[in-house]
Amino acid sequence: DLYMPVMSGRVFLEVRQREREAEWTSVPVVVLSAANEKLGLVAEGHLRKPVELDDLLQVVETFCGETALTADEGAQRMTVLK
């Protein structure tokens, strides 16, 4: 979420973007938030709260299906979810 305490999603995405060489940054990130704003930061997907179960399952399948995808591959397959 973009507005979590301690480290917000926005801060997390900023750190992830700066630390691109770190191994953990290859893990896909999907933002789940009620905020209706453009991130301006890199995330592989975005779901708006309240999330529809079918949309969430599509995202999970995209990034964690039988043939796991890299963040880039998943982002390319990702459909725009509203």
What average pLDDT does the chain have? Answer: 77
Distances (CA, A) of 29 to 33, 64: 13, 12
pLDDT at 32: 85
- The string of pLDDT tens digits covering residues 11-51 is 888 888 888 788 887 788 888 888 776 656 668 888 888 98
Residue type, position 8, single letter: S
pLDDT at 78: 60
Q: How confident is the model at residue 66 (pLDDT cuts 50, 70, 90)?
A: low
Rounded to the nearest 5 percent, the helix, strand and coil shares of the chain are 40, 10, 50
7 versus 78: the higher-pLDDT residue is 7
